[in-house]
Amino acid sequence: MPSIITHTAVPIALACAAGTRKVPPRLLAASMVASILPDADVLGLACGVPYASVFGHRGFFHAPLFALLVSLCGALAPRLAATRWSASARRARCSRARRRLAPST
């Protein structure tokens, strides 16, 4: 029966077959997390979500829409992180420049 451990076997096997030049460790880690995400419905059961609910076992988290949302988040995450870090670095540079240009008292 599939479990959290066996779900991660597929990305690990593919990474081993392709090699680390084609599958960097961060991509491997992300694919392992993505392979486990559909089983997050078990956490809902522990929180009182009924088994037959839309968010229960084998509900929304196993739907193609959820897979699409996870893949979109995965695709956009590096871009959003880069934008955030570059904006932060830009603010820091501007702040340093203002301090240099400010008249000393």
Residue 37 contacts residue 61 (beta carbons within 8 Å): yes
Tokens of 99: 């301090």
C-alpha distances in Å from residue 24, one per residue of 16, 31, 78, 79: 11, 11, 14, 18
For residue 84, pLDDT beyond 80: no
The mean pLDDT value for 52-81 works out to: 87
Q: How confident is the model at residue 45 (pLDDT cuts 50, 70, 90)?
A: confident
Give the pLDDT confidence score for residue 94 in this predicted structure.
Answer: 73
The mean pLDDT value for 70-78 works out to: 88
The mean pLDDT value for 70-89 works out to: 78
Average pLDDT of the chain? Answer: 84
Residue 56 contacts residue 45 (beta carbons within 8 Å): yes
